[in-house]
Structure formats: structure tokens, C-alpha cells
Structure 1
Amino acid sequence: MIRRLLLTALGAAALLLVPWTVYLARTLPAGHDTGQWRSAWVGFDIALLCCFTVAAWLGLRRRRAAVPMLAATAALLCCDAWFDVVLDWSAPDRMVSVAMAVLVEIPLAIVLAWRARQLLTGGMPSRGMTVRDIELHNDPSYQRLTRELGTLGTATPGTLATALGHSRDEVNARLRRLAEGGYVRQGSDGQWRTVGQSLRLPVLAEVDEPDRPAVAAYLAAKYEGELRLLGWAAEHRDEFGPWGQGERAVTHLTAAELAGFTAEYNELLTRYCLLRDRPSANTREIAIRFYAFPFPANMSARADRSLSYAGDDR
């Protein structure tokens, strides 16, 4: 109900602005002397400064509030460019205002809007999982290497070789292969670090025929592992305290709505996955899972089958 009223109000405001804009265009004078000119512009720039400061602080911490703040800062920059150019159009220094708008204010507003989008989506690369990825995931040596590197944050091949008990050449070879898959990268300082990426599980029907047995075996083992993990979590749910959270829901969605929900979930998950590049003293490794599927018809006798609701399943 509230959403419908809000959308109605927004639509009505858009319609009313059309005749109001025409009225202003026909009645407002071309020039107007006003007081508090200095206060208006100084106050505007102070507001812009505050927006920059708060947006930077929130953005560094990947807070959700950074998105509207970055968008607001971008909007203020566009307003600043517009009024600078229009109000200085007849002044001798109008080209300075035009240059500032074209070269500084508008590009910066675009960058801020783009950054807001990046914060919303997380900025993590996404791609489909390949047979090479499956080979890496099935090899314990690569898993130990990426886990150790993730714990350290950054490390040289020598440090990793010492920690893992392997030769430096072995570690270098594995790092290069992981880098080819986008899992790690080497900085200009020679240090290696892990790289976050979102891998979509392969659709078996779309996999080349020679690779299907390996992919099918990987998917079967993965889902079996997921069931074991879920069973373990159910058995130990009373031990987690604040570290155990769960939600479930039943609702009616179209395929497009479910795809949109999944995309928004992935954006939220990615943003939280990028909060820090290494574990800290007050963090724990958290298993997060999301599943959505049609409710089984043979379970229609359940009381919650026909209801739309969300419930806490901790």
C-alpha cells in the first residue's frame, strides 16, 4: 500500500512539473537581483564538501549508506555545473565555468555514480566455472595454497613455500596457474594476494560432451557436500549463538522476479565478501548459502504451503 502511494505521488509530481515548468519559462524574468548571493553559494559548497567527506568515509567502509550519499554528491556536482555555466554565461569568465563543468564537475559526477553502482554490485568479477576451475577445486594443494594466502593477506612465494612445506618452484608454478584463472594476482611489490570472483556453476547440458563426466561428478560431490554441511549445521544449531543466522520464506514469484531477487542477493553478498581482504581477530569464517526452488507439490499438506511469509530458522 505504501509503495503504491509513493509511486502515485512520484507520478503525480512528474505530471505537475510539466505545466509548472512551462509557466516558469513564460513568466520568469531573464534577470533578477537578489540578496544573500554569497551565503547561497558558500552554503551550497559547504553542503558539497560535507557530501564528499561523508561519501568518502562510508565508501572506504563499504557501508550501504555510501550508495545514496555518492548519488547525492553526483547530483550536487551536476547542479553546480549547471548553475555555474548558466549564471556565468554572460560574464567574461564563462569559459572557465564551462571548462570546470566539462573537465571536472560532470566527469567527477559520472565517476561517483559509477562508483555507487560498483558499491551496490560489489565490483567482483563474475564468470562461469570451467573444467580448469573444477580441476583446481578438486586439487587439495591449490585449496591449501589459496587458503593460506587468504589468511596472510599478502605473501611472497618464499613465505608460502615455508608455510606449506613445498618448494619455491612448486609454489610459483601453482601461483601462476591460479593467476591464469583469476584467483590470485601479483602486485608491483612482488607480493601475491587472492582475488575475489563469483563463479557460476556450469549447466551440465551446456558442457561439451567430453567434459560432462568430470563436471557431473563435481556437481554430484558438491551437492552431497552441501547436504552434509546443512545436516551438520542442523545438529549444532544450538551451539552457534550470534554466529548462526537463518531465514526462510514462501512466496509467489515469476521467473523474472526470481532472477531479479537472485541478482540483488548476489550484489549484497558480494559487497559483504569484499569488506576486508583478510581475517581479523573478531571475524569467523561464515558459510552462507542461498537456495530457491518451486515448492514440492506433494508437501501441500504443510500449513505454511499456501502462505507468503518469512521466518527465522536459526
Structure 2
Amino acid sequence: MRRRPLLLFLVVAAVALVPWIGFLLVTLPDQYQTRHWRLAWVGFDLALVILLASAAWLGWRRRRAAVPVLVATAALLCCDAWFDVVLDWNSDDRWLSLATAGLVEIPIAVLLAVRARTIVNARVASRELTVHDIELVLGNPSAQRLLTLLGTQVMTIDELTAETGLSRAEVWATLGELSLAGYVEAVGPGWREVPLNLRAPRPEDIAEADRPRFEAFWDARLAHELNLFQRAFRHPERYGPWAQGSRARLLLSRAELRRFAEEYLELLDRYQLLHAQDSGAGDGDGEVRAVALRFYAFPENLLAAEPDGGSERGVPVDSPSPEPL
């Protein structure tokens, strides 16, 4: 359903409920005896248990499908609190129902709703690649050295100075540049790398004076990428289960390709937020390593039409923070 019809439907439904509520207000009895009372409440609580368990499992697996489950669970908790308080208002359980609603059900519902909002809004910082990135960050050996170190652990100025052999002033100055560009951030007394996606600017948005810098950078990136692929392809035994690969040929429209890329970036964001640091070398299931991930998509017929195999330079859609060149 498209956005506008859906919004119209929601508005009409909200307006239609107003007279219905008035009708119920004047026609429903204050008391009513019914059958299947036990089944109604047991079924309700069973549904709540299933939603809580599903939310826990999806949250543990860090699936975005946890969002609607969290929202539904929060809604059921609010309903549970409402009916408990209203139906027990004239009974001896009134204060217990109020305490349960105010101290347990409503706070948990709010927590789940906030968590769902956090998952929806969770995004890795993203911006366009600039000349500043190329000249002052990616082309700076000191900056690359610091980024490599901070990608594995949080480190203080003294530790970075000792590890790199740079002066304290140079470390401070380089960290300042990296921080302004969004590559690192201060954490207490130390510093750490920040996940960052850099998008290639559109060719028409690049100033003529900056084109040689971008051309040289993309040539260097191409050589780096080819070297990575060559090593991974020729020596798969070095990587074992850490190396994964796939390629495919799809028939897609431009809109479908755009949607595919958006879904890929959502998946990339979710996994980039799983771990803050590389845990170092190791082969156990609990080990965490920095993994180079690439996504390229292009029409085969246009690429084959280029006499040199494709001379238009570019970088992957939303490339993560680049490795040293």
C-alpha cells in the first residue's frame, strides 16, 4: 500500500472511531457476565509470552524484524495494564493492579518502544567523500597508522605515541583532524575509531580543480582493490572460514536496484553496529575481526561496450572507512 492511501485510511479510521466510541459509551452496560473468561485471559497472556520470547530471540539475533514485535509487545503490555486496573478497580486487588501497571507493565512497554525506535534510527554515519578526506586523512600515513590502531582497541594519547613513535603534538593534531572528519571520537581518556560510510560524489558535483585529486585517489583505490581480490582469490587457504564470496546476475529495474542497494545498506548498518572493536586474531566463533566487504553493481551491457572495459571511475556504494592505501 502506498503512503498516501495508507495515511488516508488511518485518518478515516480514526474519525470513524469517534462516533463508535460514543455509541459504546451510551449503549454498553456497566456490568456484563460472559463465558470463556479464563480462556480470554489465558490466551491473552499466552500471546504476550510468545511476543516477549520472539522479541528476545530477534533482539539476540539483532534482526530488524524485532521492531514490529517490540511495538506489538509494548501495546499488549499497555492493554494488560489497562484492563487489570479497570476491571480490578472495585476489588481488593486494585492496589496490586495499580502497582503492577505502574512499576512493571508500563515501564517495560516504554522500554520496548524506546528500543524499537533506537533500532529504526540506528544508522552508521554516512557522508560524501571530499578532497579533505583524500589529502588530509586518507593520504596521511600518520592518520592511517592511528586509524589502524584505533580500529582494534581504545587507546590513550600516551599509548598511541608509544606505539607509533610520533610526537605527542603530532598525535593530538592528527586525532583532531580525524575527529573533525568523523573518523574517531574520544571515549573517556582514550580514543576509538567510529564506523563511517563514505559515498562517492556524483561526477557533476566534483569541482574541476579537484578532479585530478579524485582521479589519482580512485586509481590508487582500484590498485588496492585489485590487490585485495587477487590475494583472496589466489590464496583462499589463508582465510579459511573468514573468506566468503558471491556473485550473481540479476534482471532488475532501476527502482529495484535502488531498493536492493538500500536494503544492503540497512544490513550493513546493522552489522557494523554489532561490535565496537576488533578483538584480534583467532579462529573461534566468538572472535571478531575487521572484514573487508564490497558491493558493486553495474549493467553488463554498458560495461562491455567500453573499449577499455569501463573507464568511468567510481567507488562502491557507501564504502566503509577505507583501509590504508
- Both proteins in one fold, TM over 0.5: yes
Residues 134-168 of structure 1: per-residue CA shift (max 9 Å, x gap): 121111110001101222x1111111000000111
Q: Structure 1 42/159 Cα, relative in aligned 2: closer, same or farther at 3 Å?
A: same
**What SS is found at the alignment partner of 1:192?**
strand
Q: Deviations over 1:255-291 (max 9, x none)?
A: 1111111121122223223322222233444322211
Q: Which residue of 1 aligns with 2:227?
A: 228
Alignment of 1:124-203 (within 5 A): 124-135=124-135, 136-151=137-152, 153-187=153-187, 189-203=188-202
Distance (Å, rounded) in 2 between the aligned partners of 1:33 and 1:88 = 19
**TM-score, normalised by the number of residues in structure 1:** 0.70
- Deviation of 1:71 after TM superposition, in Å, equals 2.9
1:293 and 2:298 aligned: yes
Distance verdict in 2 for CA 1:159–1:297, change over 3 Å: closer
- List, as ranges, runs of 4+ consecutive aligned residues in structure 1 with deviation greater than 4 Å: 86-94, 99-107, 297-300
Alpha carbons of structure 1 residues 83 and 29: separation in structure 2 relative to 1, 3 Å = farther
Conservation of the 8 A alpha-carbon contact between 2:155 and 2:191: yes
Q: Please give the TM-score of this superposition, normalised by the length of structure 2.
A: 0.67
Quick one: structure 1 residues 167 and 47, their matched pair in 2 at CA, closer, same or farther if it must change by over 3 Å?
same
* Partner SS state of residue 151, structure 2: helix
Task: Give how far 1:238 is off.
Answer: 5.2
Q: 1:116 aligns with which of 109, 113, 119?
A: 119
Q: How far 1:182 sits from its partner (Å)?
A: 0.9
Structure 2: distance between partners of 1:180 and 1:297? 39
- Tell me the CA shift for residue 253 of structure 1: 0.3
Counterpart check, 1:267 vs 2:266: yes
Please, which runs of 5 or more residues in structure 1 have no aligned partner?
Answer: 1-21, 301-314
CA displacement at 1:49 relative to structure 2: 9.2
Task: Give the letter aligned to residue 241 of structure 2.
Answer: P
How has the CA–CA distance of structure 1 residues 84 and 277 changed in structure 2, closer, same or farther, with 3 Å as cutoff? Answer: closer
Counterpart pick for 1:36 among 32, 35, 38:
38
* Cα offset, 1:239, TM superposition: 4.7
- The 1:234/1:69 distance shift into structure 2, 3 A limit, reads closer
Q: Does 1:74 align with 2:92?
A: no
- Contact 2:151 2:192 survives alignment (8 Å): yes
Superimposed CA distance per residue, residues 56-109 of structure 1 (whole angstroms, 9 cap, x where no aligned partner): x764x6x244x3345323202212323543675584779x69x96997466444
Q: CA deviation at 1:117?
A: 2.3
Q: Tell me, yes or no, if the aligned pair for 2:124 and 2:272 is still in contact at 8 Å.
A: no
CA distance in 2, matches of 1:197, 1:82: 41
Q: What amino acid does structure 2 have at the position aligned with 1:76?
A: T
Q: Distance in 2 between matches of 1:297 and 1:132?
A: 32
Change (3 A) 1:240 1:41: closer
Which stretch has the larger CA shift, 230-239 or 253-262?
Answer: 230-239
- Aligned residue for 1:208? 207
Cα shift readout 1:100-130 (whole Å, capped 9, x = no counterpart): 6997466444323223325xxx521111111
Q: Deviations over 1:38-67 (max 9, x none)?
A: 963994597289549x63x764x6x244x3
**Percent identity at matched positions?**
33
Q: Distance in 1 between matches of 2:40 and 2:304?
A: 70
* Cα distance in 2 for residues equivalent to 1:87 and 1:234: 63
8 A contact 1:155–1:192 mirrored in 2: yes
What amino acid is the match of 2:69? Answer: A
Q: Tell me the C-alpha RMSD between the 2 structures.
A: 3.8
CA 1:297 to 1:218, structure 2 compared with 1: closer, same or farther past 3 Å? closer
Question: How many residues align structurally?
Answer: 265
Distance 1:258 1:141, change over 3 A: same
- Segment of structure 1 superposing worse, 225-234 or 172-181: 225-234
Query: Could you tell me which amino acid in structure 2 is paired with residue 40 of structure 1?
Result: V
**For the residues of structure 1 that align with 2:292 and 2:84, how far apart are their CA atoms?**
56
Does the C-alpha gap of structure 1 residues 172 and 85 become closer, same or farther in structure 2, counting only changes over 3 Å?
A: same
Letter in 2 for 1:144: R
Unaligned runs of 5+ in 2: 1-19, 306-325
Distance 1:110 1:192 in 2: 32
